[in-house]
Amino acid sequence: MTSADQSPVRGADVIIIGGGVAGLSTAWQLKKRGLSVLVIERQQLGNGSSGRAAGLLGQLRGTKAATKMLMDGLQVVYDLEKQTGLEIFVQTGSIRIAETEERSQEIRRLVDMGRSIRFPIVDLEIDKLQERLPYMKVDDIIDACFCPTDGHIQPAELVQAYVKAGRAEGVQYITNCRVEKILVEGGKGVGVQTAQGEFRADFIVNSTGPWSYYLADLSGTSLPTAAIGHYYLTTRPTDKVHVGKRSPAVRNRHHRIYSRPESGGLIVGMYEAEPDEYNIEDLPHDFDMSLMKAARDNYNVALLIHQAQQRFPWINERTPMTITSGIMTFTPDGKPFCGKLPDVEGLYHCAGFSGHGIVQSPAIGTIMSDLITRGETEYNISEIEADRYFELPELRDRVEVKARCADMYGRYYGQIEGQSS
Amino acid sequence: MKILVPTKRVPDTDQKIKVSSDGTGVQTNTLPFIINPFDAIALEEALRIQEGASDEVEVITVGIGNDEYEKELRAGLAMGADRAIHVSTDELLDPWNVSKVLKVIVEKEAPDLVLMGKQAVDDDSNQAGQFLAAQLDWPQATFISKIELADSKANVERETDLGIEKLSLNLPAVITADLRLNEPRYASLPNIMKAKKKPIDSIPLTDLGIEIEPKIEIISVEAPSSIRSCKKVETVDELLTLLRDEAKVL
Ligand SMILES: Cc1cc2nc3c(=O)[nH]c(=O)nc-3n(C[C@H](O)[C@H](O)[C@H](O)COP(=O)(O)OP(=O)(O)OC[C@H]3O[C@@H](n4cnc5c(N)ncnc54)[C@H](O)[C@@H]3O)c2cc1C
């Protein structure tokens, strides 16, 4: 990685602020289209949310547009694997389960939608469930479906692959360099101010994850994202329970949990109703997400363990495990913001992935570079346009934004998909 | 049976540590605090003894420090301790004075066993347990990786450089925990609720009737140099030469 003083680059066609998966994917795609690209990261590449993620890839989402994006993204991942020789995607298949009539209907709606766009789905007999998941309690499950092409993306490998591929194309990366200000002249973003001086560009991308609203503030505009805490546990393999590498991921919305295999143990994460909220601007400048730890009596961790136990009865507070604590970026509707806002020309936002940035990032890179180089994209992006809340004055108020984002996080597994918006 | 577990509240030393502006300590205002990891291991062991025992076992935690201490004591109660004692003081005590305070508490509570961490990760002194045993004139075993209680005796194992040492000591005794003794639990949901109602008995340090006599004066605290010189070697021979001539370890 070059440091700014030695580097001849003091600008580029595009400056990408934030070296998480969103920024790295966008940088690589833009460079492939011939633009010069400079990524500026306050710490190490991938050390923000991207370094904490579980990486679950469930392609069956509430809408066709969202599902299509994930299906295309997976093709990008396969290309990246070929190009870099890294194993990024682990295809385990994934299972959605329902223990109530409402949840069963939710699954049926998703299955219908998925089949209408030829997404492979297998109906699963309940008695076959136990065969596939010997370590899961199944006696209260009334419906399930299996998506064989799902699995998980290994976040560290994805970050590495983006950088390897990007570097091969000629993307420049500057690390340990915090952007202090986005320079706006005559209503247009023209560069950034950092501890290592100024850098100039025609296009600037704000892909700073949990910091995105703060960076937007610094450039005099406003982006309604919020920083929300999230936990998952990883059990260690034991003599009694060994979770195979290809054991399917599970989504159990009724209990608000998801799971997937990890190194012979099991990852279980939870979307609790009342998440921790963070003010990213109050954290020290050198705040390092990889050092976050949960207290022994953390309520949400206790809740996570409790919920995990409902589905995996062998898990309890004494099970040897590690707790991963991180910060996600949420938006009021759980969809990211991708594109420009009307008040600052040349400044593009790419943030707010609401717990799904790892798996959305491959397609998002294409979408962002479409928008920057052509001003349009073949993708249906009406749900993720950056300016969709721009006219709402209440979404300029931090208190209101935080409340709505936390509420969205709480409803993420809480609500029945396909019933409300 | 009664087990007393002293727990210290320490800054999480896995975080980035910076020296305070006056150069006599570390900046703690932005650091998260935790129960000293070795004390958490001691507490976990006490709870396992309690859960495995046929007779009633009471587990009491003790903390010495300012009002902020209550948070960590509450965490100990949530893990499962029955009650907590908070010796309140704004003074920072060195290990000798900590052991003096603990001695008073031990005399008051008369536990069968004091189980504590082998050291606190903030100052790494590794003295409080030993001082306490000496002051009480009790048997002691330090750096314990296994413990079994039977017939008023503690049979313990300690990992040494030469192998595993097995000791048997009469209770009451002071025993300090090493890393491999166990893996502490997270609090369960019901225990977090119960902990809110468990008593924390607060006693001002000044009421203990002991004189605090500082034995350690901190002259200065410096951050270790962050510049580590690295050299890439091409051959094994080159490495051996360097180890022999420069590092002088061969
Ligand atoms: C515990 C946890 C589990 C998760 N599980 C999943 C999952 O299963 N599947 C999934 O798809 N997603 C998951 N996510 C979400 C996923 O991690 C994020 O959506 C994704 O990483 C977002 O990427 P990003 O590039 O937008 O943000 P980040 O990875 O946070 O990157 C932003 C970067 O910007 C940098 N930055 C900030 N401010 C500045 C500045 N002023 N100057 C320079 N650089 C700056 C930061 O240091 C950081 O590296 C999870 C997240 C967490 C926390």
Q: Say if B163 falls within a structural domain.
A: yes
Helices (H) and strands (E) in chain A, counts: 9, 20
Q: Which residues of B touch A305 (CB under 8 A)?
A: 186, 188-189
Phi, psi for A273 (deg, rounded to 5): -70, -35
Tens digits of per-residue pLDDT, A356-395?
A: 999 999 999 999 999 999 999 999 999 999 999 999 999 9
Q: Say if B78 falls within a structural domain.
A: yes
Q: Say if B154 falls within a structural domain.
A: yes
Query: Which residue is associated with the tokens 């005794």?
Result: B173
Q: Which residues line ligand 1 (CB under 6 A)?
A: A 17-23, 40-43, 47-50, 52-56, 178-179, 207-211, 215, 230, 232, 324, 326-328, 351, 353, 355-359
CATH code, domain with B150: 3.40.50.620
Looking at chain B, which runs of residues are DSSP E strands?
Answer: 2-6, 9-11, 33-35, 58-65, 83-88, 113-117, 140-150, 153-160, 163-170, 173-177, 200-204
Residue A83, helix vs strand vs coil:
helix
Query: Cβ atoms within 10 A of the Cβ of A176, count?
Result: 15
Q: In the A/B pair of chains, how many CB contacts fall below 8 A?
A: 59
Q: pTM of the prediction?
A: 0.92
Q: Which domain holds residue B202?
A: 2-225
Q: Comparing A419 with A162, which gets the higher pLDDT?
A: A162
Ligand 1 pocket mutation pick from A41, A208, A298, A412 by most atoms within 8 angstroms of CB:
A208
Looking at A105-217, which runs of residues are DSSP E strands?
Answer: 122-123, 143-147, 151-153, 172-174, 179-185, 188-194, 197-206
- Cα–Cα distance for residue pair A92/A284, rounded to 1 Å: 39
- Cα–Cα distance for residue pair A295/B72, rounded to 1 Å: 9
- Cα–Cα distance for residue pair B212/A196, rounded to 1 Å: 50
- Rounded to an integer, the average pLDDT of A259-272 is 97
- pLDDT score recorded for residue B232: 84
Whether the pLDDT of residue A347 is over 60: the answer is: yes
Q: Confidence band (pLDDT; 50, 70, 90) for A2?
A: very low
- pLDDT score recorded for residue A276: 96
CB atoms A296 and B78 under 8 Å: yes
Q: What CATH code would you report for A11-52+156-224+332-404? A: 3.50.50.60
Cis omega (within 30 of 0) for bond into A134: no
Query: Which residue is associated with the tokens 């420049």?
Result: A172
Q: Say if B28 falls within a structural domain.
A: yes
- Rounded to an integer, the average pLDDT of A171-194 is 96
Query: Which residue is associated with the tokens 């990007």?
Result: A166
Task: Name the interface residues of B facing A (CB cutoff 8 Å).
Answer: 12, 14-16, 30, 32, 34-35, 40, 74-75, 78-79, 183-189, 191-192, 195
- pLDDT score recorded for residue A4: 47
- pLDDT score recorded for residue A175: 97
Compute the nearest-CA separation of A310 from chain B (Å): 13
- pLDDT score recorded for residue B23: 87
Say if A11-52+156-224+332-404 and A91-149+227-330 have the same CATH topology: no
Tens digits of per-residue pLDDT, A32-88?
A: 999 999 999 999 999 999 999 999 999 988 888 899 999 999 999 999 999 999 999
- Cα–Cα distance for residue pair B97/B92, rounded to 1 Å: 9
DSSP for A354-416, please give it. Answer: TT-HHHHHHHHHHHHHHHHHHS--SS--TTTBTTTTTT-GGGG-HHHHHHHHHHHHHHHHHSP
- Rounded to an integer, the average pLDDT of A402-406 is 97
Q: Say if B168 falls within a structural domain.
A: yes
Q: Say if B239 falls within a structural domain.
A: no
Instruction: Reduce the secondary structure of B49-105 to three states and give it as a string.
Output: HHHHCCCCCEEEEEEEECCCHHHHHHHHHHHCCCEEEEEECCCCCCHHHHHHHHHHH
Q: Comparing A415 with A345, which gets the higher pLDDT?
A: A345
| Mean of the per-residue pLDDT values of chain A | 94
For chain B of 250 residues, list the mean pLDDT of each consecutive stretch of 10.
96 87 85 93 98 96 95 96 97 95 98 97 94 98 96 94 95 97 96 95 96 92 78 89 86
Radius of gyration of chain A (CA): 21
DSSP state of B227: -
Phi, psi for A327 (deg, rounded to 5): -125, 130
A91-149+227-330 belongs to which CATH class? alpha beta
- pLDDT score recorded for residue B249: 83
Q: Say if B233 falls within a structural domain.
A: no
List the single residue in B with minimal CA-CA distance to A233: B186
Task: Please answer whether residues A96 and A126 qualify as being in contact, where contact means their C-beta atoms are separated by less than 8 angstroms.
Answer: no
User: Could you tell me the distance, in angstroms and rounded to a whole number, from the CA of residue A17 to the centre of ligand 1?
Assistant: 12
Tens digits of per-residue pLDDT, A198-215?
A: 999 999 999 999 999 999
List the single residue in B with minimal CA-CA distance to A306: B189
Please count the CA atoms within 13 angstroms of the CA of A76 that sit on its side-chain side. 25
- pLDDT score recorded for residue A419: 60
Q: Domain locations in chain A?
A: 11-52+156-224+332-404, 91-149+227-330
The total number of structural domains in chain B stands at: 1
